[in-house]
Structure 1
Amino acid sequence: MPLIVCLIVFNYLWGLLTAAARPKLHALLPLVSVLVNLGVLVYFKYANFLIETLNQVANFGLATLDIGDVLPLGISYYIFKIISYEVDVYTGKVKAETNPITFACYVLFFPQLIVGPIVKYRDMADQLHKNTGRCSLAQIEQGVELFVFGLAKKVILADSIGALWTDLIGSGGVGLANVSTPLAWLGIIAYSLQLYFDFAGYSEMSNGLAAMLGFDCPINFDLPYISGSITEFWRRWHISLSSWFRDYIYIPLGGNRKGKARQLFNMLLVWAATGIWHGASWNFICWGLYYFVLLTIEKLFLLKYLKKGRVWPHLYTLFFVVLGWGIFTANQPGAPLGLLIQKLFIPQTGISPVYYLRNYGVLLVLGGICSSGFPRWLWKKISAFTVLKTIVFVLLALLCIAYVVAATNSTALYANF
């Protein structure tokens, strides 16, 4: 709490100073603000990772910092929100906020604090200053629907499907070294579904809470697993993060306006930053660079062929996305990347997937269906009948409550990043 209060006071005053500064000092002020905010993020999230890397590479013998093992709550999200505000004030996209309470409300907006989405100040400014008629009954109804649907994705689907992956790599599990190749693929598919329903569910819950408070926030996920290319996937997955990197790194560096070589260099920086943002570990950096390679291949020649295809582009996308989640989760103690890649691509015997298919098969099929557009279509049909809609919604809410009561120590996966 002291950290975020200090950052709110500093950035509130700095925003006012940036707006009022003389032109010759104008460019320096946002630069200082960005460096201060990034410095705070680097100190708490990456300092020990950088020290350990230097010690391994050059044997400097530097002592790590005693800053604890737990990140300050929500720091990855509110730092990016603050930086977007400072840059937008500098570029004139928004006026500096004069009310410190309003600015604090934006930074501390509780539905988004822990796991996003990263909503820019310019998208919330008008709503923050709306004094009358903020919340309608229709908006509350929409918010309740979003919240319960998001909660269902989290507690019914994500937590239940994710138990398969935990059974394989968890401390009490069978161990990745003992599984067969088919079971390794089954496990990483389960993790892919868990991660999607966990994060997309939280994002819907966040937007639902915001709607109940009278705020209309953009969606953060749009059925990413139906994508027909990696390019399309990143237009549908974690939309707020993708748009942040586009607006504040890719476009300011020149985007695609300075030739193909410069565009690819800008993409390299963006995807390296995307990987690093997710955590202080080399697997996240490799994960970001993995997507840079895939997107570069699509940008150079593959995308035009993907647009002409029907089924194979979706299979191609799912394959590489699922493999990417294998890289993403390789920082977990039970899932070293080398062993996982070996299990996935070198046929091996071991524990059969039959037992897990029997226990989790229905959930995996349900997860596949719910990651498609079918639930939206079905709910639209059900919504035409008020009584049926009410019954289905109440039953789903009661089922969510039952799962919440039965859950133990279940938190959002993306709270770790």
Structure 2
Amino acid sequence: MPSDLHSKDVFELDPSAQPLRRTGLTKLTVDIPSSYNPKVQAEQHPQPRWRTPEFMVYYVVFVIALPVMFWIPYSLSSPSHPNYPLYQRALSPGWLFGRRVDNSDNQYRAFRNGLLPLTLLASSFLGLKYVYTLFARQRRAPYDTSNLDHIPYLATFSVLMLLGLHGSSAFKVLTLLSVNYLVGKITKGHKFSPLATWVFNGLVLYAIERNSGYSYATLHSALAPLDAWEGIYPRWYVSFNITMLRLVSFNMDYYWACNRAGIPDTGATLDEKRRPRVNHDLETYSYLNYLAYAIYPPLYIAGPIMTFNDFMWQVKRPLGVTWRTTLNYLGRFVACLLTLEFILHFMYVVAIKDRKAWTGYTAAELCMVGFWNLIVVWLKLLIPWRFFRLWALADGIDPPENMVRCMANNYSTLGFWRAWHRSYNLWITRYIYIPLGGTKNRIVTTVLVFTFVALWHDLSFRLLAWGWLVSLFIVPEVAARYLVPAKKYGGEPWFRHVGAMGAVLNILMMMAANLVGFVIGTEGIKYMLEQITGDWDGIRFMAIACACLFVGVQVMFEYREEEARQGISRKC
């Protein structure tokens, strides 16, 4: 799968970071400066296994298995297949090789069809800011290298964008933002502040979800004429989930700054780990800065998520994101976009899933439909996130990369959630996981965290079941790490293979949980399990699939060993 920036390009953002060796491996993964740890590189590591007889066998398995994994969904998507008429109407005219395209996913279709308007919006934002900057520089003191004079522009453009997107509903968003600001400012550093912030934002999310954002006519009949001005994107309450995270971030960062609970600013270089934790002076937590942060145009619609502290440090002390970095990231975004376009033109797995057109499928065919649906879910999230991060990079702001690894390069449940929607994971760690006790109460905290994550996504039983399943599936890995610690047994010849068998179980559980939460729901997974375990053909396929997963995990293990040899420690 396409990856992110080259290591050299990323380290240009942080001059204090040490560059990595330029190898083929670093080009295949997402590079994050804070992941480099010279202590990890200095440790003793096993000799590379890439050219051993064991791995030669693994390569043969890859050469056989990968083409089959592509061929199965492709053959199911053929017009000559008996089930094709069941989902044919869900397909749209395509542009690749005369094929039709599966543009039936509502979430990705909205982004795909709106890509040109979004590009024009981003271009307008950057162009107008460039003009504004030319005038602002004439009034700036020679020694002032910050972007604080950009804050009025950001706030003004943000409000205008909000009006264009949501029409009269923009006033609802601005009202909620203002009330949250007052909650934080009135309670200030009082111990009641976090509770007030969470209760307010929780009730708002629940209310607008249940009432589809409240029409003005619902609020008062005299306001009904305002409903006629809907804007380009009237469903403002859908993106408010993301905005809510920023509201909590501002109030909590302000609360900790009032109590001096963060790290004081010493003037030293701040990396991505320190920026969220270092307090600003209290004057920085102003309404204008808050407004510019909460509806910052490049990240407003879908993220990635930044903390208020991080955003303001990057405004005060620009990182100097180079155009080479931005152009490289643009190239990788285009590669990801084309990858998904290719899949949607040749594998109609989303339409098959939505229309439940899997009658008569074998166990292998059912599993490949499920697997490629998960790949589509991964890509349909990765692409918008990378578009908006690309927009922010072009503006000189470096938000966290949301997808650190390819979905198919994960074997640890804990590691998977650190790499998937990483900015959200960092937000949860800072504002929920650590305040609730972190590793001291890992099981209880994990259940509470994933319950929140599920309800934050959608108030539905399907996602609640997903959250509880994920929490349950973390238990075996935590228990295995406790009973068979790597520090004690890592040098044993059997440890790697036993770990791989446990990792296979992890992968199967993660796939099941995500199929429940984001693809086919509880009924769909029940049908799939019945078909797989209902006869010997299904059981035989699962045995072969587990053997292939075992091989894949061994390659993942060695991949991470290679990263460690280069001093890369991602914990995922």
Root mean square deviation of aligned Cα: 3.4
Identify the residue that residue 201 of structure 2 maps to in structure 1.
Answer: 37
Q: Does 1:301 align with 2:480?
A: yes
- Equivalence map 1:14-413=2 (5 Å): 14-19=183-188, 26-46=190-210, 70=235, 72-92=237-257, 93=262, 94-95=279-280, 96=282, 97-130=284-317, 134=318, 136=320, 139-153=322-336, 155-162=337-344, 163-171=347-355, 175-223=357-405, 224-257=407-440, 262-302=441-481, 308-309=495-496, 311-312=500-501, 314-330=503-519, 336-347=524-535
Shift of 1:332: 6.8
Q: In 2, are the aligned partners of 1:181 and 1:348 still within 8 Å (CA)?
A: no
Residues 305 and 114 of structure 1: CA distance in aligned 2, closer, same or farther (over 3 Å): farther
2:179 to 2, 7, 10: 10
Deviation of the 1:83 alpha carbon: 0.6
Question: 2:473·2:506 contact (CA, 8 Å) conserved in 1?
Answer: no
* Cα deviations by residue, 1:166-220 (Å, 9 ceiling, x for unpaired): 231234xx61344332111011110111122222232222222111101122222
Structure 1 12/283 Cα, relative in aligned 2: closer, same or farther at 3 Å?
same
Q: What's the TM-score once normalised by structure 1's chain length?
A: 0.67
What CA distance in whole angstroms lies between the structure 1 residues aligned with 2:192 and 2:520?
38
In 2, the alpha carbon distance for the partners of 1:199 and 1:110 equals 18
Q: Provide closer, same or farther for how the CA distance between residues 289 and 209 of structure 1 changes in structure 2, counting only shifts above 3 A.
A: same
Whether the 8 Å contact between 1:81 and 1:119 is mirrored in structure 2 is yes
| Contact 2:462-2:517 at 8 Å conserved across structures | yes
CA distance in 1, matches of 2:325, 2:532: 42
Alpha-carbon distance in 1 for matches of 2:239, 2:453: 17
* Greater per-residue helix proportion: 1
Measured at CA, do residues 152 and 271 of structure 1 come closer, stay the same or move farther in structure 2, by a change above 3 Å?
same
CA distance in 1, matches of 2:507, 2:385: 22
Q: Give the Cα–Cα distance (whole angstroms) in 2 for the partners of residues 313 and 321 of structure 1.
A: 12
1: CA distance, partners of 2:412 / 2:208: 35
CA 1:305/1:146 → structure 2, altered by over 3 Å: closer, same or farther? farther
Distance, in Å, in 2 between the alignment partners of 1:306 and 1:3 is: 52
Structure 1 pair 345–143 and aligned structure 2 pair: CA distance change class (3 A): farther
Structure 1: gaps (5+ residues): 49-68, 351-368, 378-417
Aligned equivalents of 1:70, 1:178: Cα separation in 2: 39
CA distance in 1, matches of 2:208, 2:459: 10
Q: How many residue pairs align between the two structures?
A: 319
CA distance in 2, matches of 1:229, 1:208: 29
Q: 2:435, 2:466 → 1: CA distance?
A: 24
The two structures have a TM-score, normalised by structure 2, of: 0.50
Unaligned 5+ segments in structure 2 are 1-169, 213-233, 263-278, 487-494, 539-554, 564-572
| Comparing 118-127 and 7-16, the one that deviates more | 7-16
2-side partners of 1:309 and 1:7: how far apart? Answer: 52
Change in Cα spacing, 1:295 to 1:168, as seen in structure 2 (3 Å) is: same
Deviation at 1:165, TM superposition (A): 1.6
Which string of whole-angstrom CA distances, capped at 9 and with x for unpartnered residues, describes residues 114-171 of structure 1? 22222111211112335xxx485x6233123223422432x32234435432231234
- Judge conservation of contact 1:180–1:348 (CA < 8 Å) in 2: no
Q: How far apart are residue 319 of structure 1 and its match?
A: 2.6
Cα distance change on mapping 1:29 and 1:229 into 2, 3 Å: closer
Q: Who wins on radius of gyration, i.e. which is larger?
A: 2
The answer as to whether partners of 1:179 and 1:349 remain within 8 angstroms in 2 is no
SS in 1 for 2:401: coil
8 Å contact kept, 2:462–2:521: no
- For 1:45 and 1:303, how far apart are their aligned partners in 2? 41
Cα 1:296/1:18, change in 2 over 3 Å: same
State the secondary structure of the residue aligned to 2:403: coil
Cα offset for 1:102? 2.3
Question: Structure 1's 98 and 235: CA in aligned 2 closer, same or farther, altered over 3 A?
Answer: closer
**Percent of aligned pairs with the same amino acid:** 17
- In structure 2, distance between residues paired with 1:228 and 1:294: 12
